[in-house]
Structure 1
Amino acid sequence: MIVGLSNPKKEYHQTRHNVGSWFVYLLAQRYLKILKEEKKFFGFTSFLNIESNYIRLLVPNIFMNLNGKSVFKMASFYNIHLNEILIVHDDLELNPGIAKLKHSYGHNGHNGLRSIICTFKKKTNFHRFRIGIGRPSSKSQVSSFVLSIPDKCEKFSIKQSILHAIEETIHSFILKT
């Protein structure tokens, strides 16, 4: 299962905090799939079949601090274990244009990751793709920064890192599991 963390699509889709959802939408687009709203999972879903690997896609359509509820609902319904889930999210510690794969790590202040860890009873046994969005100059600006739309240059760098991350995901994560 691949999850792109997000706030509700209508209001926040273009913001930095929703780059995880950008990843899932671009991945689905690459395989000519459309994500459809599924209220029982509190989000938008689809699936891919890549070389006999059946992968569920999820973009929660609830607030970031509740994303764990959406991930847990879908994982439980399809009997997907936490270590079979890739969570894609924005990361303040990485500059735009940088993406890194990581396994089994804490939330580092990210409310979507915190929600998942709490919902799955403090377990962190999942894979993560961190998409860099950069950091504002002041800690007091973090909330408004992540909920704002990146400028044209940042958006280009972020999308390039997402496209690279998609290739990396297909080769490193999907085809090896």
Structure 2
Amino acid sequence: MKFLIVGLGNPGAKYEDTRHNVGFRVVERLSEDWSPASHGALARIRHRGKQIVLLKPDTFMNLSGKAVRYWLQKEKIPKERLLVVMDDLHLDFGHLRLRGKGSDAGHNGLKSIDQLTGGNNYARLRFGIGRDFHPGQQADYVLGEWPAEEFRDLPGHLDRAAEICLSFCAHGLQNTMNKYNKKGG
């Protein structure tokens, strides 16, 4: 059984340590062995007998759907075995929420995936980045680097997010949601 886990972000050093690239940081916790591939960087791992394809799209956030559609088709992976990891302004920093489907909530990466894969019926792991910005400064906030206090706490949250990704593949969506989607987490 094969899964596709996609960490959303933007390619290039300019974006490397920004909040918007937290999806990249999560999937990087699952492998250090990345190779250039069509529409991004790819890694392959095995976990509890499952094959897992990890993807960091190089299409920039707003065109993420192009890479996701390509790799779903190339690897013949059904959408029920797709997990997308991305930043979420609507959750406090470090809070993680797994869902089996849902709206894009204004996230351009999800909008692109919804449009190019035929709907929002795929799992997504939302990684809270908070909303500490003034009106009109959303783009600067998500493309800004982590403040020192959050950067210090980031590794533990990334590890927990990576654990959720592996649980999704090994134990399924519902069991993983039941275990990890606790109040405050």
Counterpart in the other structure of 1:119 = 116
Give 3-state SS (helix, strand or coil) of 1:47's partner.
Answer: strand
Deviations 1:56-76 (A, max 9, x none): 000011210001101111111
Q: Structure 1 residues 15, 148: CA separation in 2 closer, same or farther (over 3 Å shift)?
A: same
Identity, in percent, stands at 34
Structure 1 SS opposite 2:133: coil
> What TM-score comes out, normalization by structure 2 length?
0.87
Please tell me whether residue 96 in structure 1 is matched to residue 93 in structure 2: yes
Structure 2 residue matching 1:161: 3-state secondary structure: helix
Structure 2 residue 175 is matched with structure 1 residue 175 = no
SS state at 1:27 partner: coil
User: What is the 5 A alignment of 1:1-177?
Assistant: 1-29=4-32, 34-38=33-37, 40=38, 42-121=39-118, 123-171=119-167, 173-177=168-172
Query: Secondary structure in 2 aligned to 1:59?
Result: strand
Q: Distance in 2 between matches of 1:108 and 1:78?
A: 28
Deviation at 1:48, TM superposition (A): 0.8
User: Would you say how many aligned residue pairs link Structure 1 and Structure 2?
Assistant: 169
Change (3 A) 1:157 1:102: farther
Q: Specify the code of the residue in structure 2 equivalent to 1:108.
A: A
Task: Note the alpha carbon deviations across 1:122-147, whole angstroms, 9 max, x for none.
Answer: x1111111111111332311001000
Q: What is the TM-score normalised by the length of structure 1? A: 0.90
Distance (whole Å) between structure 1 residues aligned to residue 61 and residue 20 of structure 2: 9
In 2, Cα distance between the equivalents of 1:61 and 1:90? 17
> Aligned partner of 1:100: which letter?
R
Aligned-pair CA distance for 1:9: 3.2
1:79-134 CA-to-partner distances (Å, cap 9, x unmatched) read 1111110000000011112111111101000000000001112x111111111111
Deviation of 1:160 after TM superposition, in Å, equals 1.8
Q: Is this contact kept in 2: 1:66–1:112, CA < 8 A?
A: yes
Q: Matched residue of 2:51: which SS?
A: strand
8 Å CA contact 2:63–2:109 kept in 1: the answer is yes
Q: CA deviation at 1:154?
A: 1.3
Kindly provide the CA deviation profile for residues 154-175 of structure 1, in whole angstroms up to 9, marking residues without a partner as x: 123333222112222323x111
User: Runs (4+) of structure 1 moved beyond 6 Å?
Assistant: none
Whole-Å separation in 1 of the counterparts to 2:102 and 2:140 = 25
Unaligned stretches of 5+ residues in structure 1: none
